[in-house]
A = this chain, B = another copy of it.
Amino acid sequence: MSIHEVARRAKVSIATVSRTINGVSTVTPQLSRRVWRVIEELGYYPNTQARSLVSGRSRIFGLIVSEITNPFFPEIIQGFEDIAVQNNYEILTTSTVHDPKRIALSVRRMIERRVEGVAIVTFGMEEALFDDLKTRKIPLVFIDVGPPLPRISNIRIDYQHGIREAVQHLAALCHERIAFISGPLILKSAMARQRAFIESMEEIGLAVDPNHLIEGDHTMEGGIKALKKILQFPKRPTAVICSNDMTAIGVMRQSYEEGVHIPRDLSLIGFDDIRLAQFMIPPLTSVKMSQTEIARMAFNALLSEVQRDIPSPDGTEYVLRTSLALRDSTAMAPAGARKKVAILKKSAD
């Protein structure tokens, strides 16, 4: 079951077996065939541990996500795995469930397994937790929040683009009182989304009522709570933009409870555009941030860093566009709430 057994049966040295497996050209076709025959016959699979021990390359990438049970992440994991297998990489996934201890532990596990790089898709958790990886000079890729350091790449998300589309879409439907349910504001990415919202509003001269900026937590429960709050305002917003789709789903859920009809009484826009969004009732308009694209960029960032001979001095920047995916959760603002008549034509569905 080891290379020695193969060597013995093929009557060659273990070096020749190794060379055969790795396709080193100096081995005679005749011997190569003999070796391969034995390998097949024995069903021999090389021991990766031994391989990477001597070669110094584990062919493993780590992938840290914040919550695998949040439907946003499985798509990323799937995408990452797809590219990984194509490139003969293994992937070690850990879900932090927002627990610093868990993060620290998973960082440690990854170092012990000698991963060649780690993709950190947590949208801005405590950065210090990854110091161990940095000092060990392991290539990293962050979403949004990575510091400009050697070997550290970043996927910058262009939140502004998609959120501006969302705001302008609502404005075109005569909405003026638009609320924004953010994620936890300790997260840099949540902050960035909120800022993009505010800027987009101001850009077209719409006032942002500070009361209409509600801090959620990127969960359905958070969306439920936020909507309850919103419905208590004397002058209700006529539209809500959420910092992620799970929040929006919570909002839908609670709207149903409270008899608020979407989109008649309230227009709703999510963020992320998870697959589920299109199966909501009604199908949820959402700002698309392609999970597959994130996975692809993250993997390529790591791979190219690993293949470099000298590390990139200040990391590499990747940029991901976001854009609005129009569905059925938005409609004209209720007549009573309209003032302006700056109606643009709603783009065809």
List of B residues within 8 angstroms of A48 by Cβ: 112-114
Tell me whether A105 is interfacial, beta carbon within 8 Å. yes
Task: Decide: B105 and A135 in contact? CB cutoff 8 A.
Answer: no
Interface residues on A, range: 35 or more
Give the shortest distance, in Å, between A77 (CB) and chain B (any CB): 6
Tell me whether A9 is interfacial, beta carbon within 8 Å. no
Task: Decide: B85 and A47 in contact? CB cutoff 8 A.
Answer: no
Chain A residues close to B by CB (< 8 Å): 43, 45-50, 52-53, 58, 68-69, 71, 73-75, 77-78, 81, 85, 90, 92-95, 97, 102, 105-106, 108-109, 111-114, 132, 135, 220, 249-250, 252-253, 256, 275-276, 279-282
A49 to B112, CA, bound (A): 8
Task: Decide: B85 and A105 in contact? CB cutoff 8 A.
Answer: yes
Considering only CB atoms, which chain B residue lies closest to A255 in the complex? B281
Give the shortest distance, in Å, between A278 (CB) and chain B (any CB): 9
Give the shortest distance, in Å, between A11 (CB) and chain B (any CB): 25
A282 to B281, CA, bound (A): 10
Task: Decide: B281 and A253 in contact? CB cutoff 8 A.
Answer: yes
A249 to B43, CA, bound (A): 45
Task: Decide: B90 and A78 in contact? CB cutoff 8 A.
Answer: no
A45 to B110, CA, bound (A): 10
- Interface majority SS (helix, strand, loop, mixed), chain A: helix
A62 to B220, CA, bound (A): 31
> Top 4 closest A-B pairs, CB basis?
A49-B49, A256-B281, A68-B74, A48-B112
A74 to B94, CA, bound (A): 12
Task: Decide: A135 and B43 in contact? CB cutoff 8 A.
Answer: yes
A48 to B249, CA, bound (A): 43
Among candidates B47, B74, B92, B102, residue contacting A53 with C-beta atoms closer than 8 Å:
B47
Give the shortest distance, in Å, between A258 (CB) and chain B (any CB): 12
Question: Would you list 29 pairs from A and B whose C-beta atoms are within 8 A, ordered by A residue?
Answer: A43-B135, A45-B111, A45-B112, A49-B50, A49-B52, A49-B53, A49-B58, A49-B113, A49-B114, A53-B53, A68-B74, A68-B78, A69-B71, A69-B275, A71-B71, A71-B276, A74-B74, A77-B93, A77-B95, A78-B95, A78-B97, A85-B109, A90-B92, A90-B113, A220-B279, A250-B279, A253-B279, A253-B280, A256-B281
List of B residues within 8 angstroms of A45 by Cβ: 108, 111-112
List of B residues within 8 angstroms of A78 by Cβ: 68-69, 95, 97
Considering only CB atoms, which chain B residue lies closest to A249 in the complex? B279
A96 to B268, CA, bound (A): 35
A106 to B109, CA, bound (A): 22
